[in-house]
Amino acid sequence: MNKTLRKIVLILAAVILLPIIFFMTNEITTLNENESVINRIYSDQLDAILFSVNQYSEDIISSWASQNEIFLNENLTETEIKNFFSSHTSLTMIFEADSIDDEKIKFIQPESLADQNDEHNSDLLNHNIKSILSEKTDIIKRLYNYQQQGFRKIEPFADSRIQDTNLLLFVSEADNNKKIYGLLVNPQQFIQKNLSPKIQQIAGNEFVISVYDTLKSFQFNSHKEIDLPKIQQEKALWIFPDYRLGISLFGTTIEDLVNQRTKTNLILISILTLILIAGVWFVFRNIKKEVELAEVKSDFVSNVSHELRTPLSLISMFAETLELNRVKTEEKKKEYYSIISQEANRLGRIVNTILNFSKMEAGKRQFNFVNSYLNDVAENVYGSYKFHLENKGFAFKIIKDETIPIIKLDEEAISEAIVNLLDNAVKYSDLPDRQAGQKKEIIIRTGLENNFAFVEVEDKGIGIPETDQKKVFDKFFRVSSGLVHNTKGTGLGLTLVKHIVEAHKGRVELNSEIGKGSIFRLVIPLSKS
Ligand code: ADP
């Protein structure tokens, strides 16, 4: 890469690429931040729902606790007790202890259970609860503290000694009369009987709220659907330490939505980045082309000077020789005249090429289309070059397809194009360092191809490397490798050829192989006729 291009690359990187990278990184980070804010807000909402379930279950237990003292009243009748427990089926027992060391803890339980419990069982229960209480002295102390501040806290416990039930402990301290109370509640029954209506109401049709134990051996769901969505968020159930609350969303979850959104946004950002990078690439390529063109233009000046100088010096040299009467034989004189006229023609052609090119560049070149026979145009060029080329030792042929109909052509322009091709065919076949096997042979061929007529010039010259085949039609371009460096030219001939054919709504096809030769075909549509 040369200096100018390196500079351009640096400028492009600094002015376009860096801001793009900065912008994209900024976009992606803000996107992530936005998504995490959405996620946080949503997760807070789910938390609030779970909080309300927790609050509700605590309220139920709290209301039971409020009725506790009444039901421990000794004057209660059997029926009153029975009615209480039958309306609170998940409650299996209530107890009251005067202190942690109370010898005779007072129990009250449904008749059915009491019946089953013999003396031994009752003792065992007494013993178990006592031992639990003695382990919780700290907590009970804390409960008294709360109580003194006017707040009744209910402390839950799960313990293997009370089997399927959970213990909910609270205290009271009325008139300096301290009491410890306990409710033994069956969590699964509580969830199914007391909590389920509320859960179903909160869940509605948008969420599924589930309650399950930590081992997942029990699970209650607000909906009975078979395909339950994945639990999105969970929280502990305050009143039962071994149970948890979970919430999930029907259909697309917010997480899915957020993921989906992030994905779409990332794709859009990537596409945008690609487009911007493609834009930068495009700008770079154009600038690179311009820089190359500028370089090639400077070569052009030296090439043209050389192109003009050679015929000029030949003309002046031979004219001088003739003027000084130094040529003795008529034959020699004739030869010199012919060289002068050939070189003058060459000069004329170079000047014409440059003039035509500048007209073409300015968009001022006019074409004059008339009904013509392509064969006649080719034949005329062939006629005027035959002698010259054969003199140079070329086998020069024309092969015509006589079925080509009349088409609309600018005869002069097409002749100019064929002449340019012939010039090249000569220049690039007739090199001083010719390789063995390269024949000096040029063929002009006309023909038909679908709806097109064509005229082509074939040579057995040096050929064009494949990588350069597209570029040879670019203005000022000259193949810089191989044997060509000795041959001078303007690099405009093929540009003009292409321009002329395109003005006829046609195209140029190139078929060339290094060391074997080239065929340039001018393809012109018949529909022009
Ligand atoms: P130039 O004045 O250099 O001949 P052109 O535009 O006519 O400019 O051709 C461009 C380049 O294409 C030439 O410099 C040469 O390298 C290559 N070229 C054109 N015609 C032929 C050919 N018949 N055989 C080999 N190379 C060719």
pLDDT digits (tens, 9 = 90+) for 217-252: 888 988 886 566 678 888 999 999 899 999 887 777
Distance 388 CA to ligand 1 centre (A): 20
Question: Is 249 in contact with 229 (CB distance < 8 Å)?
Answer: yes
pLDDT tier, 475 (very low <50, low <70, confident <90, very high otherwise): confident
DSSP labels, 375-403: HHHHHHHHHHHHHHHHHTT-EEEEE--TT
Question: Is 81 in contact with 71 (CB distance < 8 Å)?
Answer: yes
Residues 379, 397: Cα–Cα separation, whole Å: 10
Using the structure block, give the residue that is written with the tokens 């449904």: 110
Question: Is 169 in contact with 181 (CB distance < 8 Å)?
Answer: yes
pLDDT at residue 118 above 80?
no
From-to residues of CATH 3.30.450 in the chain? 91-185
Q: Find the radius of gyration of the CA atoms of the chain.
A: 52
Over range 365-370, report the average pLDDT.
92
Which residue's alpha carbon is nearest to atom 2 within ligand 1? 489
Q: Which residue has the higher pLDDT, 362 or 117?
A: 362
Using the structure block, give the residue that is written with the tokens 């140079």: 392
Fold of 91-185: Beta-Lactamase (3.30.450)
Q: Which tokens belong to 386?
A: 């035959």
Q: Which tokens belong to 178?
A: 């301290």
Question: Which ligand 1 atom is nearest residue 479's CA?
Answer: 16
pLDDT tier, 529 (very low <50, low <70, confident <90, very high otherwise): very low
Which amino acid type is present at position 402? E
15 C-beta neighbours (distance < 10 Å), count: 10
Is 490 close to ligand 1, i.e. is its CB under 6 Å away? yes
Q: Which tokens belong to 234?
A: 């969970």
Torsion 77-78-84-90 (CA) sign: positive
pLDDT tier, 375 (very low <50, low <70, confident <90, very high otherwise): very high
Is 442 close to ligand 1, i.e. is its CB under 6 Å away? no
Per CATH, the number for 366-525 is 3.30.565.10
421-435 b/e with 16+ CB inside 10 Å = b?
A: bbbbbbbbbbbeeee
Residues paired with residue 171 on neighbouring β-strands, in sequence order: 180
Which residue's alpha carbon is nearest to atom 25 within ligand 1? 463
Q: Are strands 243-249 and 370-372 parallel, antiparallel or unpaired?
A: unpaired
Which residue's alpha carbon is nearest to atom 16 within ligand 1? 479
Q: Are strands 91-97 and 233-236 parallel, antiparallel or unpaired?
A: unpaired
Which residue's alpha carbon is nearest to atom 23 within ligand 1? 425
Reduced to 3 states (helix: H, G, I; strand: E, B; else coil), residue 446 is strand
Probe residue for ligand 1, chosen from 431, 456, 494 as the CB with the greatest number of ligand atoms within 8 Å: 494
Is 478 close to ligand 1, i.e. is its CB under 6 Å away? yes
Residue 521: which of 490, 494, 482, 483 has the closest Cα?
494
Residues 398, 376: Cα–Cα separation, whole Å: 11
Probe residue for ligand 1, chosen from 353, 389, 478, 501 as the CB with the greatest number of ligand atoms within 8 Å: 478
Is 354 close to ligand 1, i.e. is its CB under 6 Å away? no
Is 156 close to ligand 1, i.e. is its CB under 6 Å away? no
Which residue's alpha carbon is nearest to atom 8 within ligand 1? 491
According to DSSP H, which parts of 187-329 are helical?
187-189, 196-203, 254-323
Q: Which residue has the higher pLDDT, 423 or 39?
A: 423
Is 424 close to ligand 1, i.e. is its CB under 6 Å away? yes
pLDDT tier, 485 (very low <50, low <70, confident <90, very high otherwise): low
Question: Which ligand 1 atom is nearest residue 478's CA?
Answer: 14
For position 59, what pLDDT does the model report?
93
Distance 303 CA to ligand 1 centre (A): 13
Q: Specify the length of the chain in residues.
A: 529
Probe residue for ligand 1, chosen from 428, 467, 488 as the CB with the greatest number of ligand atoms within 8 Å: 428
Question: Is 465 in contact with 481 (CB distance < 8 Å)?
Answer: yes
Residue 343: which of 302, 310, 388 has the closest Cα?
310
Is 300 close to ligand 1, i.e. is its CB under 6 Å away? no
Reduced to 3 states (helix: H, G, I; strand: E, B; else coil), residue 151 is coil
Region of poorest pLDDT, from 7-11, 119-123, 518-522: 119-123
